[in-house]
Structure 1
Amino acid sequence: MSPELAFLLTLALRMAITAAFVVTSSIITEKSGPVIGALVATLPISAGPSYVFLALDHDAAFIAEGALASLPVNAATILLGLTYVVLAQRHSVLLSAGAAIAVWIGLASIIRQFHWSLISGLIVNAVTFAICIPLLARYRHVRMPPITRRWFDIPLRASLVATLVATVVTLSGWVGPSISGMLALFPIVFTSMMLILHPRIGGPPTAAVIANGAWGLMGFGLAIAVLHVGALQFGSVIGLSLGLATCICWNLTLWWNGRRKAAVG
């Protein structure tokens, strides 16, 4: 087998694995409502496979540096969410999602100009979330109407994420760890939700899913920091495992806390 064919087959397998994750999470999200859907959406559905496949091709130092670049980008994602949530109350999906993506791209371009340390990345996340979470709180509680899935919804979502993984993996050797880490965090799951749900159920219910994802994104930022430290100290496998465990434990804690408050109420 030629090296070119082996590369293409491997890339196709990686894209298929990622698509399977997305299909599963999409079904859970659509059946569970905005709160559970948001917790599922903020798991590392797209960034996780991207980093796993990067780890297969690069050493632990590459993964650690990529995670360091990803950390401040997580703050840009919550600002993308805030932009969409506010605009989606009254405007179309094209305007709301388009403006949100433009905000993310602009902030990512600014972030790229600076050299980030672990402390500075954590600080920018803490400040950004401290501002955004209270602003998003009023938009979280919206009744979710029934969703009728169209035949192309899940294939579209899966193809978007698979394309992102293919882009990150293919370009990583040329663009280096910092840009790879930024690309890995492009909010493709949030974006696909905006594009698919907004035309069908309206802006406010879709915005409720995004707004409920704020606390989950905070845990995702902590998971990125854990990945950076873990990869530096123990290697890529342990670093990725610790990052995933952090994300899952954080979201399970959010779910349990929500159930406890509901029971008390």
Structure 2
Amino acid sequence: MSPELIFLLTLVLRMAITAAFVVTASVITERSGPVIGALVATLPISAGPSYVFLALDHDAAFIAEGALASLPINAATILLGLTYVILAQRRSVLVSAGAAVAVWIALASLIRSVHWTLAGGLIVNAIAFAICVPLLQRYRHVKMPIVARRWYDIPLRACLVATLVATVVTLSGWVGPKISGIIALFPAVFTSMMLILHPRIGGPPTAAVLANSAWGLMGLGVAIAVLHVAALRFGSVIGLSLALATCVSWNLALWWNERRKLARC
């Protein structure tokens, strides 16, 4: 079998595995409401597989440097969420999602031009979340309507994420760890939710999912920092494992805290 065919088959397999993860998570989101949906959406179901596949092709230093580039991108994602949440209250999906993605691309371009350190990435995350979390608070509590799935929903979600994985894996050898880290954190899950849920259930309920995602994105930022440090010290496998454990533990703690609040009401 030729190397080109092996690469193509491997790429298709990677795309299929990642798409399956994201589709499953988004279906859970639709059925569980904005709070649980946000916790599922902020798990590394898109970035995680991308980094796993990068680790199969590159060494630990590459993964650590990519994570360092991903850290400030996490701050751009919460600003994407804030942009969409505010616009989605009255604007169409094209205006709301288009403006949100444009904000993310503009911030990613700016982030790319800066030489980041771990401390700098953590500081920009702290600033972004300090601004966005209070502003998002008022949009969190919206009842999720019953969702009637359309025939193209699952293929669209799968294609969005599969395209992201294909882009990251294919370009990583040419663009290097910094651009790979930026592309890996493109908010494919959030974007698919905007495009699919907004036309069906309206802007405010869809925005509620993203508004509830702020605390989960904090955990994702911590997990990315853990990946950077652990990959350098212990290698990619341990680094990725610790990052996943951090993210899952953080979201479980958020879920438990939410249950305690509901029990007191």
TM-score range, shorter chain: over 0.9
Say whether 1:164 aligns with 2:203.
no
Matching residue of 1:233: 233
TM-aligned CA deviation for residue 30 of structure 1 = 1.1
Contact 2:26 2:193 in 1 (8 A): no
What is the alpha-carbon distance in structure 2 between the residues aligned to residue 204 and residue 70 of structure 1?
29
Q: Secondary structure at the match of 1:115?
A: coil
Contact 1:26 1:154 in 2 (8 A): no
Percent identity over the alignment is 83
TM-aligned CA deviation for residue 7 of structure 1 = 0.4
What is the alpha-carbon distance in structure 2 between the residues aligned to residue 84 and residue 29 of structure 1?
18
What is the alpha-carbon distance in structure 2 between the residues aligned to residue 162 and residue 17 of structure 1?
9
Q: Secondary structure at the match of 2:64?
A: helix
Matching residue of 2:25: 25
Matching residue of 2:16: 16
Structure 1: segments with no counterpart, 5+ residues: none
What is the alpha-carbon distance in structure 2 between the residues aligned to residue 158 and residue 250 of structure 1?
26
TM-aligned CA deviation for residue 10 of structure 1 = 0.5
Query: TM-score, length-normalised on structure 1?
Result: 0.99
Stretch moving more, 107-116 or 150-159:
150-159
| Deviation beyond 6 Å, 4+ runs, structure 1 | none
TM-aligned CA deviation for residue 151 of structure 1 = 1.3
What is the alpha-carbon distance in structure 2 between the residues aligned to residue 48 and residue 260 of structure 1?
29
Say whether 1:213 aligns with 2:217.
no
Contact 1:39 1:216 in 2 (8 A): yes
Say whether 1:248 aligns with 2:248.
yes
What is the alpha-carbon distance in structure 2 between the residues aligned to residue 166 and residue 58 of structure 1?
16
Matching residue of 2:128: 128
Kindly report which structure 2 residues correspond to 1:22-171, keeping only aligned pairs within 5 A, or say none: 22-171=22-171
TM-aligned CA deviation for residue 22 of structure 1 = 1.3
Matching residue of 1:199: 199
Query: TM-score, length-normalised on structure 2?
Result: 0.99
Contact 1:34 1:212 in 2 (8 A): yes
TM-aligned CA deviation for residue 52 of structure 1 = 0.1
Structure 2: segments with no counterpart, 5+ residues: none
Say whether 1:183 aligns with 2:186.
no
What is the alpha-carbon distance in structure 2 between the residues aligned to residue 122 and residue 181 of structure 1?
16
Q: Secondary structure at the match of 1:34?
A: helix
What is the alpha-carbon distance in structure 2 between the residues aligned to residue 124 and residue 22 of structure 1?
28
What is the alpha-carbon distance in structure 1 between the residues aligned to residue 259 and residue 208 of structure 2?
18
Q: Secondary structure at the match of 2:140?
A: coil
Cα deviation digits, residues 33-71 of structure 1 (max 9, x gap): 100000000000110000000000000000000000000
Contact 2:223 2:247 in 1 (8 A): yes
What is the alpha-carbon distance in structure 2 between the residues aligned to residue 188 and residue 201 of structure 1?
19
